Structure formats: C-alpha cells, structure tokens
Structure 1
Amino acid sequence: MTSGILNVLKPCGMTSHDVVGFLRRTLQTKKIGHGGTLDPDAAGVLPVFIGTATRLLEYAVEGRKNYRAELKFGIKTDTGDDSGTIIASSEVRVVTEAEIQETLQKFIGEQKQIPPMYSAIKKDGQKLYQLARQGIEVEREARSITIDALELLHKTGTSLILDIVCSKGTYVRTLLEDIAAELGMCGTMSFLLRKQVGDFYLSEAKTLEEIAAAPYAYLLPAEAAVQDLQELVLTDKQALRITQGVKTTVRGISNGTYRLKTITGDFLGIGSAESELVKAEKILKQFQADAEMI
C-alpha cells in the first residue's frame, strides 16, 4: 500500500477535504488525511498523509505555523473574511506605524482566543460552520494559543500585510479582527497564505497538477513529519522487543520522545523513554527478526 506524505500547495477555492478527495482518486487509496485545515479561500501548505503515515498526523498538527495575511479595515463580516456578509462597519482612521507596532506587541505570547462560528470545531456532534449557516450562534470555549511573531510587512491607508508565526489552534481571521478592534476599527481578513506547517514549507510544496502528473515523485517518507524529534538507533534485539510492545531498557537514555531507527536506518515509528525504559508510542513498521534472534 502507498504510504508517505505529500506537501501540497492548496489552491484558493478548494476545501482541504476537496484536496484529500482529489488525492484519493489520484493515488487510488482511501487512507488519507491532512495536517491542519485551511479555509477554502486560503492557499498554501497542506501536508497530506497517506497510508500508515496517517498515524503521525498528530505530530504535523502540533507544529508551528507561519502565515502571510492581509487585514482590511472598515468592515467586519460573519465569516471573518471578505467572502462573508458584512455585519458591522467603521470609519477607517489614520494610524501610524508606531501605533501599529505597539498594538502588535500586545498580541505576542500566550493568550486565550474564542474560535469563530465559521470553523470546523464540533459542538454536540455538529460543526460550528453548519450551525452558523443556519443562523445559529452557540457559546464557544476560549482556547489557549501562542503568537510567536507578528511582523508588519506593508501598510496602506486601509490595510496591513502581516507575517504571523503561531501555535496550532490559532484562527488568523479572529486574530486580525482583534488587532483591528485594538486599533479602534472593524477589520476582516482579505488574504491568507500558509507558508509553513512544522517542517513543511511553501518553497517545497507541489501543486495538484504537478502531483497528478507524477503521483509518486513527490511522496516524502513518513519520518519527514517528525524530524524535530531526537533519533534513537536501536539494536536488532531492542527493535524487535519494542515493536512487539515490550518495554525495553536502553542504558543512558534521557527521558523524552524519540524517532526509532534500526542500525540500517529504517524508520520504525515513535517511542518514549522514561527512567531508561523505552516503550512504543506509534509503530509504523514491525521489525523483522532473522532466524538467529528467534
């Protein structure tokens, strides 16, 4: 069965689910998932996991994200972007670059954010955007997010272009609305490009047309999703025991999470170590013992 990761350049106008459907047909396999939803009007990096690599999806979702976004002043919409219906408006006041920079600094660091109604979060089994389309608004619990960086790239009299580095779960639309409100105006997102998800970058992403022309040429190994984890090279006996679910002693190892590799370089999956005992967390490949080890 095909297994690996595709770093897809999602185009505007497609949902993340549309991309997965396209790749299911192209690769003729059903076991596919994506690492972090992108709005239909947004473009950029969408890591897509195929086959056994889907077991590592959670590690892609955990990775830091980098966006380029445009904030348009003067209007607020029900969706948080300029595809929605205008629900509020304000005059566009003149703001200096110093005032903008001071405002952006207020949003750096850990904070709470209330997810927008137009999101894929579920409430009592229904996605919020499905409720929103019915005109229903429900109470949402604030979530912890972290904004690592907010860089002003360009300003006009009516808009800002920003680069944003943030944690998982951050809704850029909501962040931009909050920045506009802090500046005393309504605001909405008019452009969004995702430049990075964890170890997947825009410069290396491939279009659906490129992938369709050579479906397997751009397939990355599953290990690409966890390059930031420490590598642990196991002996054959350790590899056999751990991939069979047996906690195994590895002398001198520090507590933490590791990429498990064989002496010959095969990637087996993810393990964790505590008090010099290593146990399997996500095994993608069982180690095959030779006759002498059995």
Structure 2
Amino acid sequence: MPNGFVNVLKAPGITSHDIVAHLRKVYGMKKIGHAGTLDPAAAGVLPIALGKATRMLEYMDNADKSYTAEVTFGYTTDSGDDTGNVIEEAPYQMPTIEAIKQVLETFRGEIKQRPPMYSAVRINGQKAYNLARKNIEVEMPERTVVIHAIDFHEMTENGFVFSVKCSKGTYIRSLCMDIGKKLGIPAVMSFLVRTHVGEFKLENAWSTEEIGMLPHKALCPMDFPIKHLPEYKITEDEALMIKQGKKINVAENVEFVDKFIRLYTDKEFAGIGRYVFSERKIAPHKVVL
C-alpha cells in the first residue's frame, strides 16, 4: 500500500471528493484524504494524502495558500461567485488600474473578513451552506485572516485579475466582494486558481490523467509537506521506544522551540514527536514506522 502525498491539479467542474474517489481507484486503496477543499468551480492545487500520510494532514493546517482570482463587476450573489443567485445588480463605470491597485493595498496585512453564507463554516453545529439551502438567514461571524501579498495582474472586459498569498481560513469569494465594496461596485469572483498550498506548487501538480498513467511517479514522500517542522535523528533503539509509546531523551546540545518534531532513523522517516519542554524529552505523537 503506497504511503505519501500527491500534488493534484484539480480541474474546474469537479469536486474535491470526486478527486479522492478517482485516486482510490487508481491506487486501489480506501485510506485517502485531502488538505484544503476547493470549490467545484475552482481549479488548482489540491494536496492528497495516501495511507499513513493522512496522519500528517493536521500538521499542514496553518500552511499559507496562494491564488489567482478574477473579479467581475456589476452584480453580487449569495455565494460570492458567479454560480450563485444574483442579489444585487448595478450599473458601474470601470475603475482605473491605479484605483484598483490602491484598493488592493488596503487589504494587505491582518484584516477582518466575513465568510460567504455558502461556505463550510459551522453555525450552531451546522454547516452554513446547509442553512443557506434551507433559506435560513444567519449572521456569519467575522474572522481575522492575514493577506501576505496581493497584486494586480490585468484588466478584463468586465473586471480584473489579481493574485493573493494568504493565511489559512481566507475566503477569496469574500475578498472579491469586499474589494468591490471599496470600489463602490457590486462584484463577484468569476474564476479561481489555487497556485500553492505550503510545499505544493501549481507548476509541479499532476492532472488526474497523468496520475492514472504514472501513479507511483506522482507520489511524494510522507514528510514532503511538513519540512517546516524541525528535524531530529534518532537511533534504532530510540525508534523502538517511540514505537512502544515511550519518551526519549534529547541530546544535550539540542534545543527546540517548536512543539512538534520530525523524527528520522538512518533509514527512514519515523513520524512526529511532541517535545515536552519541562522534561527535555520527545514523546511519540504520530508514529509511521
């Protein structure tokens, strides 16, 4: 059974669940998961974990993401993209490139954002999109997200294209609508491509057809997306202790500031250890030996 990650190039019009179902057939296994759902209409990077690699997904939770998005002016929808029901339309004058650039700059850094109603955010235990489908109106809670970079690319006939690098939890649909509000024009997100998730880059992504032809060549090692965690070499005896659920001592000349540590023997990736600061020991957290 293969254990590792696949950097999938998701095409528009299919769901993240469709990708998982396809790869279950390709690799002949059930234990498959993904990091960071993409909307059906969106395209781009979708990291997929196979087998034991699914246990590494939680360490990718805070991975930054990058997108290229298209904004279309003149209307807004209940979903924030061009697939939703129109809730506002208005005539507009196309803003200048300079005006767009000035507005984009106001979103750089830490911002408050309200997710769209058609999202997976939970409200009183229920997903917001389920409430929206039942026509139940609720106030979506604001959240704080970070926009690390945001740049204008080009004008289109009815809008413009921009790129953004952002923190976990950022909704690009909301960002597009908020940009429109600052320009005084109703707007929606009309296209979205995710260009990176942590270590996974668009230029290295594989289409489902390519994966089907070369499944093992598309496979990345289990530790590929968690290189941001510090690394620590352990002996075979220490690996056995970790496997048995025991803590191991840390070498005197080693200091850690992170909670989670990548553990390696001379031969292979052993898993994730949890550093116990008060004891200067490493406890097993996720063992893959």
Contact 1:94 1:157 in 2 (8 A): no
Q: How far does residue 124 in structure 1 lie from its aligned partner after superposition?
A: 4.0
Unpaired runs of 5+ residues, structure 2, are none
Partner in structure 1 of residue 237 of structure 2: 237
Given the alignment of the two structures, is residue 278 of structure 1 paired with residue 268 of structure 2, yes or no?
no
- Pick from 269, 272, 275 the counterpart of residue 271 of structure 2: 269
Partner in structure 2 of residue 260 of structure 1: 263
Indicate how the Cα distance of structure 1 residues 124 and 28 shifts in structure 2: closer, same or farther if over 3 A, else same.
farther
Alignment of 1:181-196 (within 5 A): 181-196=181-196
Partner in structure 1 of residue 26 of structure 2: 26
Give the alignment's TM-score, normalised by structure 2.
0.93
The percentage of aligned residue pairs carrying the same residue is 44
CA deviations 1:238-268 (Å, max 9, x no partner) are: 222233222222122222232111123x101
Report the residue type matching 2:255 in the other structure: S
Unpaired runs of 5+ residues, structure 1, are 286-294
* Corresponding residue SS for 2:220: coil
Indicate how the Cα distance of structure 1 residues 2 and 156 shifts in structure 2: closer, same or farther if over 3 A, else same.
closer
Indicate how the Cα distance of structure 1 residues 187 and 218 shifts in structure 2: closer, same or farther if over 3 A, else same.
same
Alignment of 1:67-82 (within 5 A): 67-82=67-82
Given the alignment of the two structures, is residue 8 of structure 1 paired with residue 8 of structure 2, yes or no?
yes
Q: Which moved more, 1:237-246 or 1:62-71?
A: 237-246
Q: How far does residue 27 in structure 1 lie from its aligned partner after superposition?
A: 1.8
CA deviations 1:12-60 (Å, max 9, x no partner) are: 0111111111111222211111100000000000001111100111223
Partner in structure 2 of residue 63 of structure 1: 63
Q: Which moved more, 1:49-58 or 1:208-217?
A: 208-217
Partner in structure 1 of residue 144 of structure 2: 144
Q: For 2:16 and 2:162, how far apart are their aligned partners in 1? A: 23
Partner in structure 2 of residue 290 of structure 1: none
Cα RMSD over matched residues? 1.6
* Corresponding residue SS for 2:47: strand
Q: For 1:283 and 1:126, how far apart are their aligned partners in 2? A: 33
Report the residue type matching 1:271 in the other structure: G
Partner in structure 2 of residue 289 of structure 1: none
Q: For 2:144 and 2:37, how far apart are their aligned partners in 1? A: 18
Moved >4 Å (runs of 4+): none
Q: How far does residue 92 in structure 1 lie from its aligned partner after superposition?
A: 2.0
Alignment of 1:1-294 (within 5 A): 1-156=1-156, 158-250=158-250, 251-255=252-256, 256=258, 257-264=260-267, 266-273=268-275, 274=277, 276-285=280-289
Q: How far does residue 87 in structure 1 lie from its aligned partner after superposition?
A: 0.8
